[in-house]
Structure 1
Amino acid sequence: GIVAGEAVGFASMLAIYARKRPRVPRVGHRNGERLLTASRRIFSLAVPVTLTRFVSSGLMSLDAVLIPRRLVVAGLSTLEATAVYGKLVGMAETLLFTPGILTISLSTALVPAVAEARAQGNRRLMSQRVNNALKLTVLTGVPSAVIFLLVPSQLCSILYGYPDAGRILGALALGGPFLYIVQTTTGILQGLGKAVEPFKNLLFASALKLTGIYYLTGLPEMGIIGTSLALVSHFVLMAVLNTRDVVRITGVKINYSNTVLKPLFAGLVMAVAMALVLENGGPGAAAAAAAMAVGLSAYFLVAVITGAIERSHIERAVQLLIQASQPIRRFSR
């Protein structure tokens, strides 16, 4: 299934590229760029990006070996350690990464957008795009973290039938917004042609993560929760390092009031609203669904009132939904 999906996605991208690609000067044309020079520029970006992905995959493999072994040291049997690790990777992390569908798409789109602003030397446009991207990331990450914090067991029970995986998801929840910031800032740095910075930051953050996994997971009183905290520390450190590099390289001033404080306030109101519904409705799936509906409504309302979500954002979202639905409508006809 995965192979078939990737093949269809690849074929779709090729078709879109063939239809939408811009016309560029031929190699050797006086307005163009020499092949050797162009190749050097391409590989200066492609090599660190590919290396980052390669190292990330290698570190995931190392986690898969290290975590179960440290769980055994904490007192679990090999079978129990394998089962707990499966709940971490196959359930809790899967849910945590789900909002990343938006931020990964955003980071991909940011590469040419930021590169365009940089090529034009338009600092105002670059500042606008960086701040808007970070705001959208935080607006997505905050409500996700609130949901994962308040109803993790219910989500894992409904989706997987393992409510005990919820304690892992709850421990990971605070790292969610930082994970999404990492994805967005990586796209910004790659658009600036600074793909080496995310790679360096990945190495620093991974060293902290592996150290945390080794010591915290091996503690009997921590176990898999220690692993989760180590992962959260990894997300936090890399988000801080990436954001620092974005500010240092671009000189952009981040509007923390609109980007961070207002979404956090809306998230606090959302958490209170959800807690009130859960207190009156109990721990069941119906109460969890009602709490999420009420909480998200409260979050959206407060975000609009405070200006965290502006009218232009809503209009743009509606336009994107209309554009996305056009191929579906044509197909249905």
Structure 2
Amino acid sequence: MGVAMLMSKTIGTLQKIPLQNVAGDRVFGIYNAVYPLYQLLLVMVTAGFPVAVSLVVAEHEAVGERSEARHVLRASILLLAGSGIAGFALLWFGAGRVALWIGDPSTGRAIQAAALALWFMPVMAALRGYYQGRGQMLPSAVSQLTEQLVRVTAMLTLLWIGWQYGWSDASLAAGATSGSAFGGAAGLAVMLVHGLRERRAGDNGGETESASKRELTGMLVKDKEEEGLERANWLNHKGVQRREKQWSGRGTKSILKQVRRLAALAIPITLGALAVPALSVVDAFTVPRLLRGAGMNEIEAMSLFGIYGRGLTLVQLVVMVAGAIGGALVPALATARTRGDVAAMRQQATIGMRAAWAIGAAASIGLVLLAEPINVMLYADNEGSRTFALVGWTGLAGTVNAIAAAMLQGLGKVRAPALFMLAAAVLKAALNAALVPAFGTAGAACAGIAALAAAALLSAAAVRRAAGAAMPARGAAGIALALAAMAAALALAERGAAALLGPVLPPRAEAAALALGGVALGGAVFAAAALRFGGISARELRALPGGEAIAARLRKWRLLPSGGD
């Protein structure tokens, strides 16, 4: 599931690059304005329910109540299908009004196209939760990957067809957003096929079970004859008890009660998941309108919004990787909390938060220094490179937020990250209103830096209070030196490479060489310098899962100093 989720999110993030390359900045802007709204509604409808369904199903499966588990599935499908239809109606019939709120009527068709996915995604979420509760992770993993691959394939196919036949920007954007419906249908089909196969296998298994029961009945009859009526009565009594226990749960809970229980479990998780798309929706509803208020027409405003979204794609990728790192540290942190091991909690949280600041700072510095070559490599021109660099700074705060949120979950503080991010969304809206009219998308980028930084500082402080995590002075100094070494290496390498490659390579190839070479060089220099300067010690490495082998190998390569313990 973890691998499938990482691959799925990577595909979903990187698919924006060919979208902009094929359709241009205005279509890219429309997509970036509409998709967060659809994502927010989808999160409201589905986010917490797979977890809630899996928990309740697992409880019934643990005591052999298979019929009650199926009852939970029926209740969840009823609830989520109804929510999906309501969400579809809201977007489909309200598309015109929402488009006016965004500030560009041409987004209406894309909003309606995105709404089609709500016929499929909620039911798929219910089925995923059901099979996860039964311990079957493979169907969900295959469904996730199938959904993303089909979504991206459909999007690119429709873009190609539209480009060939001269579709308008509004139609191209609608074709791009309709990929979600194709992906949702494919993902749901995977789950339904798995369910059909399982039912067929269950029918065959039922025949085998019946034969076994007949054989057992014959054995019991023989026991009656050989060991007497008293033992036969005792066996029969035990069988009746087992049957009563197995079927006692039937009919005790109505669908309405199941729905209420699922909602109670899902709502806290949903609130946490709403935080991230809320920031994107704030931009979608404020930035295009504020740009138009500053004197731009619809086409100019949405094109500029598309250019603003270029850097966000890379930042989202960085934050996704950070979230995976944080998730890997959660089990050890939760185990330490359960055991009451305060020292282990402090050590795990300290290492996690140090990694957050270090990785986030390195990623942000890399995005800022390499903004122009990355922009040209991915999007074919250097439009908005200054804004790209400003957006790159949000990688630091985004990384800290992602890892701190995982830490707080492991520490049992599940609501704090959601509250911090929702507060950041309110601050982002206020800062957009103050900065965008004067500074355009650069103002929106600065608003994002400030809002996310506020949430990051609150999250880091919450981790420190909950676990006593603090960065040692030596570790902080080591990371600072490593960042300085990385920045110096990138600046020198970029100047030298530009002088050597500029005369012999076309602009986009030169940009690709600079960007990819800079990422590799910067990452290697930062990692080596952080280890050599004491950013993390061998003792701290060994405290991580698998850290003993990592520390030994790094010591062998002379990347850890001899006094690193």
TM-score range, shorter chain: 0.7 to 0.9
Residues 18 and 300 (structure 1 numbering): CA distance in 2 closer, same or farther, change over 3 Å? same
Residues 188 and 47 (structure 1 numbering): CA distance in 2 closer, same or farther, change over 3 Å? farther
Counterpart of 1:63 in structure 2 is: 283
Counterpart of 2:447 in structure 1 is: 230
- Deviation for aligned residue 1:47: 3.3
Give the Cα–Cα distance (whole angstroms) in 2 for the partners of residues 240 and 122 of structure 1. Answer: 26
Secondary structure of 1:164's aligned partner: coil
Do 2:360 and 2:399's aligned partners in 1 also have CA atoms closer than 8 Å?
A: yes
Structure of greater Rg: 2
Give the Cα–Cα distance (whole angstroms) in 2 for the partners of residues 259 and 59 of structure 1. Answer: 32
Residues 113 and 140 (structure 1 numbering): CA distance in 2 closer, same or farther, change over 3 Å? same
Correspondence 1:212 to 2:426: no
Do 2:490 and 2:521's aligned partners in 1 also have CA atoms closer than 8 Å?
A: yes
Counterpart of 2:306 in structure 1 is: 86
Counterpart of 2:349 in structure 1 is: 130
Written as runs of structure 1 = structure 2, the 5 A alignment for 1:188-267 is 188-219=407-438, 222-250=439-467, 252-257=468-473, 260-267=476-483
- Deviation for aligned residue 1:301: 2.2
What is the CA deviation profile of residues 289-323 of structure 1, one whole-angstrom value per residue up to 9, with x for unaligned ones?
44443333322221121122445479947979xxx
Give the Cα–Cα distance (whole angstroms) in 2 for the partners of residues 249 and 127 of structure 1. Answer: 9
Candidates 301, 314, 318, aligned match of 1:99:
318
Written as runs of structure 1 = structure 2, the 5 A alignment for 1:172-187 is 172-187=391-406
- Deviation for aligned residue 1:201: 1.5
Give the Cα–Cα distance (whole angstroms) in 1 for the partners of residues 430 and 455 of structure 2. Answer: 15
Residues 160 and 317 (structure 1 numbering): CA distance in 2 closer, same or farther, change over 3 Å? farther
Do 1:114 and 1:126's aligned partners in 2 also have CA atoms closer than 8 Å?
A: yes
The residue identity in structure 2 corresponding to 1:257 is A
Secondary structure of 1:176's aligned partner: helix
Do 2:463 and 2:469's aligned partners in 1 also have CA atoms closer than 8 Å?
A: no
Do 1:142 and 1:263's aligned partners in 2 also have CA atoms closer than 8 Å?
A: no
- Normalization by structure 1: what TM-score? 0.76
CA RMSD of aligned residues (A): 3.7
Q: Which segment is superposed worse, 266-275 or 41-50?
A: 41-50
Residues 317 and 86 (structure 1 numbering): CA distance in 2 closer, same or farther, change over 3 Å? farther
Do 1:156 and 1:162's aligned partners in 2 also have CA atoms closer than 8 Å?
A: yes
Aligned pair count reads: 298
- Deviation for aligned residue 1:242: 0.9
- Deviation for aligned residue 1:43: 8.4
What is the CA deviation profile of residues 67-98 of structure 1, one whole-angstrom value per residue up to 9, with x for unaligned ones?
10111223322112111212223x21010121
- Deviation for aligned residue 1:15: 10
- Deviation for aligned residue 1:181: 0.6
- Deviation for aligned residue 1:272: 0.9
What is the CA deviation profile of residues 125-173 of structure 1, one whole-angstrom value per residue up to 9, with x for unaligned ones?
1111111212222332222112111111111211122321422220022
Give the Cα–Cα distance (whole angstroms) in 2 for the partners of residues 88 and 268 of structure 1. Answer: 28
Counterpart of 1:279 in structure 2 is: 495
What is the CA deviation profile of residues 253-279 of structure 1, one whole-angstrom value per residue up to 9, with x for unaligned ones?
312435543223211111111111222
- Any gaps of 5 or more consecutive residues in structure 2? 1-10, 13-116, 139-244, 246-259, 503-509, 551-565
Q: Which segment is superposed worse, 144-153 or 43-52?
A: 43-52
Give the Cα–Cα distance (whole angstroms) in 2 for the partners of residues 105 and 16 of structure 1. Answer: 24
Do 1:131 and 1:259's aligned partners in 2 also have CA atoms closer than 8 Å?
A: no
- Deviation for aligned residue 1:41: 12
- Normalization by structure 2: what TM-score? 0.47
